[in-house]
Amino acid sequence: MATLDELQTMLSVDGYSLSVETADGKTKAVITAGEGICEDCLVPKVVMTGLLAQALDVPAEQITLEYPEEH
C-alpha cells in the first residue's frame, strides 16, 4: 500500500502534481499536469480513487478527485 507521499512522488516523476485537502469528513484531491504533459494519460479515476483511499485510510466515497482535463 502506497502512502500519500509515495503517490505524490510517483505522479511527479511523470510530470503531475497531487494536492489533497480534507475538511468536514470530505477529501478533495486535485491532480494537475505540468507543461506539455498528457492530461488524459492517467489511470482511470476509480483506480486512483482507490489508491488515495488506501493511502489516506478513508472510504473512497469520501474522496472527490479532479483530473487535469477537468480544470
DSSP string, 29-53: EEEEE-TT--TT-SPPHHHHHHHHH
pTM of the model: 0.93
* Domains contained in the chain, number: 1
54 DSSP 8-state letter: H
> What's the pLDDT tens digit per position in 20-51?
999 998 999 999 999 999 998 999 999 999 99
Instruction: Give, as one character, the DSSP assignment of residue 10.
Output: H
User: What confidence score (pLDDT) does residue 57 get?
Assistant: 95
Instruction: Identify the bridge partners of residue 63 per DSSP, sorted by sequence position.
Output: 27
Range(s) of the domain holding residue 18: 4-70
* Residue 20: strand pairing partners: 29
**Judging by DSSP bridges, how do beta strands 26-33 and 16-23 pair with one another?**
antiparallel
What is the model's pLDDT at position 5? 97
The CATH number of residue 55's host domain is 3.30.300.20
- How many residues appear in the chain? 71
